[in-house]
């Protein structure tokens, strides 16, 4: 079955689940230390909440903070990608955001470097997930 010619496909990734140990600790880290916006925090049950955070100005995907519900999920906290960089935080001002990481005592895994694609450093979130902070080269 082919796609209709007059109806272009429009898709986007809306949310990326990030398994966390505690909703409130994760909210504090992402909003107070990284400066993300708390988009939603809705109780779904006595133990489950729908918690969504996004970087400021971000129109795309947000992080859905999901509290680990069992042993298997708890084992994945901080290592959702087997030790690889998990998420890529693009910035329009590397120095501002890198200074913010330092000021908030966020662990830097790899110091800033200039690569062919831009300026980058690797940091860890409160659980140990690795992130790239990246200011792409201007074209």
**Domains of the chain: which residue ranges?**
12-77, 78-139
Q: Which CATH architecture has domain 12-77?
A: Roll (3.10)
pLDDT at 3: 58
Task: Note whether 12-77 and 78-139 share their fold.
Answer: yes
DSSP 8-state symbol, 117: T
pLDDT at 130: 97
**pTM reported for the whole predicted model:** 0.88
Taking only the tens of pLDDT, the chain with its 139 residues reads 565 567 788 888 899 999 999 999 999 999 999 999 999 999 999 999 999 999 998 677 899 999 999 999 999 999 999 989 999 999 999 999 999 999 999 999 999 999 999 999 999 999 999 999 999 998 7
Task: Check: CB of residue 41 under 8 Å from CB of residue 27.
Answer: yes
pLDDT at 66: 97
Lookup: tokens for 64 = 């859905």
Instruction: Determine the topology of domain 78-139 in CATH.
Output: 2,3-Dihydroxybiphenyl 1,2-Dioxygenase; domain 1 (3.10.180)
């Amino acid at each position: 079955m082919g796609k209709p010619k007059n109806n272009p496909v429009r898709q986007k990734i809306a949310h990326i689940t990030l398994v966390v140990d505690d909703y409130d600790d994760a909210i504090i880290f992402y909003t107070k230390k990284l400066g993300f916006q708390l988009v939603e925090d809705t109780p779904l049950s006595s133990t489950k909440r729908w918690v969504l955070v996004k970087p400021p100005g971000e129109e795309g995907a947000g992080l859905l903070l999901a509290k680990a519900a069992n042993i298997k999920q708890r084992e994945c906290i901080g290592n959702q990608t087997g030790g690889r960089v998990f998420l890529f935080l693009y910035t329009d001002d590397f120095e501002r955001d890198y200074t913010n990481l330092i000021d908030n005592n966020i662990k830097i895994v790899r110091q800033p470097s200039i690569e062919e694609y831009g300026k980058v450093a690797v940091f860890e979130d409160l659980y140990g997930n690795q992130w790239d902070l990246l200011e792409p080269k201007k074209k």
